[in-house]
Amino acid sequence: MTRTVLITGTSSGYGKAMADLFHRRGWNVVATMRRPDPEVFAAASHRLPSHRLPSHRLPSDRLPSDRLVVLPLDVTDSKSIENALEEAAAAFGAIDVLVNNAGIGLASIVEATPDRVVHEIFETNTFGVFATCRAVIPRMRARGCGTIINVTSSAGIGPMPLSAVYAASKCAVEGFTEALSYELEPFGIKARLIEPGYAPTTNFSANAGPRLQGLIPDDYGAFAQSYFQKLASYPTAYCTEAEVAEAALAAATDQSDKLRYPAGADSKLLAELRWTTSEDHYLARMRDMFAPAPAGRRH
């Protein structure tokens, strides 16, 4: 029987790559995004099912395949989540795998980050994950099987400078997912983490740019410049969309009890450093990699 995956945040980047890979591997794919874009999958040989084609759906002649539906889903809106789950069930039946991929990037200095920005990041990156999980768990529990995959970040393994708010939103999901995995094990449901490294080519990384304005005060200018220079010259290869998609497929099909799937050379290196060395060694390496010389004290 063909398995079905629902993926959030598929308009570009990791989510788009996941949808493409799962579809190529023979899965039914429910690709969701806040505002469905006809161009995202138009060239990928996909179409919507012929039944029930509301105006917000993509036209069926643009998507020539019967194993993909593209649906609107806003993870910050509980009604939107329920509507998407109902339409997915109408198209393919039960959802075997949920991939919570939707997310927002942010680089900022803590003292300059207003509450509204913090709330915006957590609404999507954290509370949105909680909401979609709460919505899908009863359906999976009734069937006695299923897999939930939450996409976090290498920032959840080792937080970097200028990532405090973003890392907090992802670390919350890391703790949530591990605890959830224990809760759901008696019901035959797995909960897993994908931990992508830094991917400068994705829209996800680019969407952090506009939020930088006003979030790095002049007093932190030298610190931020030094950090970005070191990040750009770091010798380890960065993460690609394809690596994250492969990690998601592995997490969806792995029958072991594995929890974490780092994706990308930088994330795997960071995970090894974090989990196989002492805290003193780890912190010293992190400071060597990214921290500039201490700022001079003002009198």
Q: Point out the residues that are catalytic.
A: 166
Q: Return the CA Rg of the chain.
A: 20
Helix axes 279-290, 221-233, angle to 10 degrees: 100
CB 166 within 8 A of CB 155: yes
Among 124, 218, 133, which Cα is nearest to 166's? Answer: 124
The DSSP line for 109-176 is -GGG--HHHHHHHHIIIIIHHHHHHHHHHHHHHHHT-EEEEEE--GGGTS--TT-HHHHHHHHHHHHH
Task: For the chain, give percent helix, strand, coil, nearest 5.
Answer: 50, 10, 35
Tokens 């080792």 correspond to: 158
Report the relative pairing of strands 146-151 and 97-100 from DSSP bridges: parallel
